[in-house]
Amino acid sequence: MFSTLRTVFDRVLTGIVITLLGTLAVVVLTGVFYRKMGWSLVWYDEGASILLAWLTYYGAALAALKRAHIGFPGLVNSLQPAMRVPVVLLAEAIIIAFFALLAWYGYQVLVILEGDTMVTMRNIPTSLTQSVIPIGAVLFIIAQLLSLPEVLEQARGQGIIDAEERELMEALKK
C-alpha cells in the first residue's frame, strides 16, 4: 500500500509539473509572438513569473520524492554503518522542521495578503498565487516521508544511492 501511495503521489506531481511546464511554455511563446508583432500583453510578465514559481515548488517536491536534490550521500556512506541511520534521521528531522516552518510562515503571508489582487490580473487574488509556498512545503514534507523508508533501507545496507547512480543503474538494466 505504501508503494502504491508513493506511485500515485509521483504520478500526480509529475502531471502537475508537466502541466505547469507546458502552460509556461505556451505563455512565454505567446508573449514572444505578441512582442514580435509589435503588441504587448500586459499580464505576460506577471503570469510567467507566477507559473515559474509554481513550477519551482512543485518540481522541488517531485525532486524530493525521487531524492534528486543536492545531498551528501558520500558523507553518510563514509560513516560506520551503525551511525548512518541516526544521521539520516537527524537530517530528515531538520529538513522536515524547515519545511514545516516554511509552510507555517507561508500560511501567515497568505493571511496578510488577503484581499490583495495581482497588479495586471486584477481578478486573481495574490493569496492564490502565493499559496504555492505553504502547499509546496507540505508536498515536500510528504515527499520526504514517502521516500524515507527507501533511504533508511539503503543506510542500513550498502549505503545511500544518489539519484544519478540510480538512473544509471536503471539505464544499464535496459
What is the model's pLDDT at position 28?
96
Query: Concatenated DSSP letters for 65-95?
Result: HTT-SS--HHHHHTS-HHHHHHHHHHHHHHH
CB 106 within 8 A of CB 130: yes
pLDDT in tens, the chain (174 residues): 788 999 999 999 999 999 999 999 999 999 999 999 999 898 999 999 999 999 999 999 999 999 888 777 888 888 888 899 999 999 999 999 999 999 999 999 999 999 899 988 999 999 999 999 999 999 999 999 999 999 999 889 888 888 777 777 878 887
Number of structural domains the chain divides into = 1
Residue 11: domain span = 2-173
**SS3 category, 18:** helix
H or E element in which residue 160 lies = none
